[in-house]
Chains A and B, each alone.
Chain A
Amino acid sequence: MKMLQALTLQARLMWIVLGSTAIIGGGTLLLVFVISYQNKLSESEQHIRQLMDAVEYSAAIASYSSNAEIADDVIKGLMRDEAVCEVSLSSNEGLHLSRSKYNDLSVCPITLQHALLSPFSSTDFIGNLETRVDNGIIETRAVHYAGQVALGLLALLILPSLIIWFAVSRYITRPIHAYAQQLHNIVPGSSERIATVAHSSLELNRVIRDSNSLLIGIEEMLLDERAQRNEIERLKEQYKHLAHHDNLTGLPNRAMFHDRLAHMLIQAKRYQLKGALIYLDLDKFKPVNDTLGHGVGDLLLKAVALRLLDAVRESDTVARLGGDEFVVILPALHNASTDALSIAEKILHALQQPFELGAHTVQIGSSLGIACYPEHGKDEFTLSKHADLAMYRAKQNGRNNAQLFQPSMAEAAD
């Protein structure tokens, strides 16, 4: 049974039909064959006995009158049955006549005797009619007959089995198989559905309908889930952006600035590149904020951010550390101090231009401090500190200028 469980429905059905047909049919066939065989055997013997009965009167006359010719007629008549291999007729008065087909009569073990009575006196025993029967021919006949009966029965047994198998296979197993195959091929959540199946039944149609309802449910569920996941992703991105960017200007914030700087240093070290860090403070921002209000201050900061982005290269990073404090990271410079100074000049110029903020026109300036990698510092902390010191110097120098870090600045600070 365990073996059967691994088979397809179709194969299992075939084995059950074949098996039960073989077991039931085999037994029945054997029984029918044996019974038919026995019946035919005794029928053959009965047949020869009837023949002997039929010729009894002639045999009695032959025996009574010791007439060899009549006796021979009787014997020849009986010999016509091919199963008869010897016939002998004898009378009490010495007549003895016999004919036989074979010299060796061992194949003819059955002997049938018929006592002959006088035709004119039913009490007088006058002779004997004896027939020897060929067992082989009788058996062959019996086997032939029983075989035909068994064959007929076999057809009777096999035909319904085949019809049942065909019907079950056509109306049950094949439709189920077709259904299972379709279900197997469908990707969950897709818009594929199970089509109706040939020769399907009411039950299977219901299964198909319910399966399709489930598939629809699954698809809707997955669509919902996908939408939710997208929403979560979007929110995550948004929060990540918020965590790393300045809310007001959209520039990277302090946290991201540290990341970018660290990244720039790693790249520069690995590929032996030069770079620079610019610290920037707006001049006269506080008065704008105080006199024109925070709204205008915010607008100014946004505008500054745009001008900064405009002034630097695409690969540079502009970040806002807070208040009116900005930084610019300049990676991959050819000649660090010269290139950085020229970008700083560009920034100075850009921020000197008046800002149109609604009804107000505002003019500010900026103080920039530059520290170059690797000559002014090889790590984040040193570079930041030195850029900050340079900016401090720029402020001391009367604002609106850019200063390159000098070692003397560090000594002065110490």
Chain B
Amino acid sequence: MRTLLLAMLLLSGEVVAAQPAIAIIANHDGDYATLTRKQVVDIYMGKLTVLTNGTFPQPVDYQGNPEIRERFYRLLTGKNLAQINAYWARMSFTGQTNPPRLLPDQKAMLRAVGKNQDALGYVDKNEVTPSVQPLMTIGE
């Protein structure tokens, strides 16, 4: 019995290891010190377009539905990518809000955030480089 429990623990540990945590990242000059997790959701969903400190956050996302994107939205909103895309389809149709800009991969993401002061992005936690500022970690 003890062995079984141990095995399950080990297995679950492996599952966690297979899906690493995600780091929300910003430019070193970005003014996001007080940013909350809920604000991250609102920014990515196009709801929050300006912060009280005057910052216009510029969320950046990935194109082509890579695995990290799926994981990101599930961890953040509990929805899958299809639902998020449906949301955006509806929102874009009204022409009032635009979805985040899309980048091909995490390298491009790190580069874009490192260059743009108001940019917000996300990469696997172990991919974070000193070129960006990690704000919070989700999925731990």
Give me the interface of A with B, judged by CB distance under 8 Å: 58, 61, 64-67, 69-70, 119-122
Q: Which residues of the other chain, B, contact A120 by a CB distance below 8 angstroms?
A: 41, 45, 76-79
Separation of A25 and B41 alpha carbons in the complex (Å): 65
A66 to B49, CA, bound (A): 13
Q: Are A67 and B91 in contact (CB under 8 A)?
A: yes
Contact status A65-B47, CB under 8 Å: yes
B38 CB contacts on chain A under 8 angstroms: 121
Q: Does B87 contact A (CB under 8 A)?
A: yes
Given A58-B90, A120-B41; A67-B96 close (CB under 8 Å): yes
Q: Is B94 interfacial (CB 8 A cutoff)?
A: yes
A64-B45 in contact given A119-B87, A121-B38, A122-B78 (Cβ < 8 Å):
yes
Q: Assuming A61-B90, A64-B47, A120-B77, what are 20 further A-B pairs, CB within 8 angstroms?
A: A58-B90, A64-B45, A65-B45, A65-B46, A65-B47, A65-B91, A65-B96, A65-B97, A67-B94, A67-B96, A69-B96, A70-B94, A119-B77, A119-B87, A120-B41, A120-B78, A121-B38, A121-B41, A121-B77, A121-B78
| A61 engages B79 (CB within 8 Å) | no
B126 to chain A, nearest CB (A): 26
Q: Cβ of A61 and Cβ of B87 under 8 Å apart?
A: yes
Closest to B73 in A: A120
CB distance from A59 to the nearest CB of B (A): 12
Among residues of B, the one whose C-beta sits closest to the C-beta of A120 is B77
Q: Which of chain A's residues have a CB closer than 8 A to the CB of B46?
A: 65
The reply to whether B79 and A69 form a contact with Cβ atoms under 8 Å apart is: no
Question: Among A66, A70, A121, A122, which residue has its beta carbon within 8 angstroms of that of B90?
Answer: A70
What separation, in Å, do the CA atoms of A57 and B109 have in the docked complex?
A: 32
Q: Which residues on B sit within 8 Å (CB–CB) of A121?
A: 38, 41, 77-78
A57 to chain B, nearest CB (A): 9
**When chains A and B are docked, how far (Å) is the Cα of A122 from the Cα of B41?**
13
Chain B, Cβ-Cβ closest to A65: B47
Min distance, Cβ B97 to any Cβ of chain A, angstroms: 6
CA gap between A122 and B79 in the complex, in Å: 11
Q: Please, which residues of chain A bring their CB within 8 A of the CB of B87?
A: 61, 119
With a CB–CB cut-off of 8 A, which chain A residues contact B45? Answer: 64-65, 120
Can you list the 6 inter-chain pairs with the closest CB atoms, starting with the nearest?
Answer: A120-B77, A69-B94, A120-B41, A65-B47, A67-B94, A67-B96
Residue among A65, A70, A120, A121 with the highest chain B CB neighbour number at 10 A? A120
